[in-house]
């Protein structure tokens, strides 16, 4: 390992930052779990579930901030998860790079769209 | 020397070998955690579309409700229902399996028996929640 950090034989695959991502995966996961419970609690409040109630939940500023945090958390969480999947099953470096690139574009695009929907309410 | 080389070595386990074994429930949850995460990743645009149409205006909310009946574009309604059930099942499975992970990390309470029981709870509860939320979303009750 130590001899593979430079030159043509150096390791070009892998994440190299295990603990940080392990922790990030749990922190972002816990945040999304909290969001899920907060959303469910508001949905299960008495009253008909229709447009007014649904849109009203996301109209509150604190809910917007929480949802925004969850969107960013989700993008990072999904990046770590999908990268792990690609690293386990896609061995050719070029193909893996392409998969990583696609994942980043996909997630950044989705996060942008979600934030736009959220903040024009 | 000759004996050592002629002796049959098991070699690397391939997928076909792995499929010979019956996965314990905890193993099933482990692979489903990964599969459900991948499903959520690929269906992310549909999830955001549902969020967009359901929350933007009362007009778009009707379009959201109609998607389960008349579909979106050339995609029929029953297929949208199937995809949304896929999202719901994946979400609940991923959520419960994730909380199970956090719980094991925090309490360090890990045993074969607990792993087996919590795996069964994960599999069962996610199916029940999928059914309940799906039927509610499709207006059955």
Write down the pTM of the prediction: 0.87
Q: Residue A79: CA atoms inside 13 Å, Cβ hemisphere, count?
A: 20
Which residue in this structure is represented by tokens 């309470």?
B109
Q: What is the mean pLDDT of residues A25-54?
A: 94
DSSP for B50-82, written as a single string: HHHHHHH-HHHHHHHHHHHHH-BTTB-HHHHHH
CATH code (residue B80): 1.20.1300.10
Q: Is B40 inside a domain boundary?
A: yes
Contact A110 B40 (CB under 8 A): no
Q: Is A94 inside a domain boundary?
A: yes
Q: What percent of chain A has pLDDT over 70?
A: 89
The per-residue pLDDT for range A22-39, each reduced to its tens digit, is 899 999 999 999 999 999
Q: Is B20 inside a domain boundary?
A: no
Q: Is B11 inside a domain boundary?
A: no
CA–CA distance, B105 with B124 (Å, rounded to integer): 22
Range of the domain at A112: 14-119
The per-residue pLDDT for range B11-65, each reduced to its tens digit, is 777 777 778 888 899 999 999 999 999 999 999 999 999 999 999 999 999 999 9
The per-residue pLDDT for range B75-96, each reduced to its tens digit, is 999 999 999 999 999 999 999 9
Chain A partners of B37 at a C-beta cutoff of 8 Å?
78, 81-82, 85
pLDDT of amino acid A11: 72
Contact A110 B37 (CB under 8 A): no
- A19 at the B interface (CB within 8 A)? no
Q: Is A5 inside a domain boundary?
A: no
Helix axes B25-42, B44-56, angle to 10 degrees: 60
SS3 at position A120: coil
Contact B40 A78 (CB under 8 A): yes
Q: Is B110 inside a domain boundary?
A: yes
Within 10 angstroms of residue B110's Cβ, the number of other Cβ atoms is 11
SS3 at position B72: strand
> Cα B68 from chain centroid?
21
Q: Is B15 inside a domain boundary?
A: no
Beta bridge partners, B139, equal: none
pLDDT of amino acid A62: 97
Q: Looking at the 3D structure of chain B, how many domains does it have?
A: 1
CATH code (residue A27): 1.20.1300.10
How many degrees, rounded to 5, is the angle at CA A34 between CA B130 and CA B115?
A: 65
Q: Is B38 inside a domain boundary?
A: yes
Q: Looking at the 3D structure of chain A, how many domains does it have?
A: 1
| Residue B94 · residue B33 · CB < 8 Å | yes
Range of the domain at B79: 27-137
Q: Is B22 inside a domain boundary?
A: no
| Residue B69 · residue B77 · CB < 8 Å | yes
| Residue B36 · residue B127 · CB < 8 Å | no
């Amino acid at each position: 390992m130590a001899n593979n950090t430079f030159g043509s034989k150096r390791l070009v695959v892998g994440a190299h930052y295990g603990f940080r991502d392990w922790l990030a995966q749990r922190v972002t996961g816990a945040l999304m779990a909290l969001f899920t419970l907060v959303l469910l609690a508001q949905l299960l409040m008495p009253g008909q579930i229709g447009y007014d109630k649904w849109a009203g939940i996301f109209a509150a500023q604190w809910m917007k901030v929480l949802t925004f945090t969850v969107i960013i958390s989700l993008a990072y969480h999904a990046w770590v998860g999908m990268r792990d999947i690609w690293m386990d099953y896609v061995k050719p470096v070029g193909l893996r790079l392409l998969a990583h690139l696609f994942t980043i574009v996909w997630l950044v695009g989705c996060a942008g769209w979600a934030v736009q929907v959220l903040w024009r309410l | 020397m000759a004996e050592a080389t002629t002796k049959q070595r098991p070699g690397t386990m391939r997928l076909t070998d792995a499929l010979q074994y019956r996965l314990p429930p905890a193993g099933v949850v482990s692979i489903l955690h990964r599969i459900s995460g991948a499903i959520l990743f690929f269906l992310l645009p549909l999830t955001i579309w549902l969020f967009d149409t359901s929350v933007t205006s009362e007009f778009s909310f009707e379009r959201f409700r109609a998607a389960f009946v008349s579909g979106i574009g050339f995609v029929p309604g029953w297929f949208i229902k199937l995809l949304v059930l896929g999202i719901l099942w994946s979400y609940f499975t991923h959520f419960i399996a994730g909380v199970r992970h956090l719980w094991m990390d925090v309490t360090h309470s890990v045993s074969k028996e607990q792993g087996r029981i919590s795996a069964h709870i994960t599999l069962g509860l996610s199916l029940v929640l999928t059914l309940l939320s799906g039927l509610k979303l499709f207006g059955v009750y």
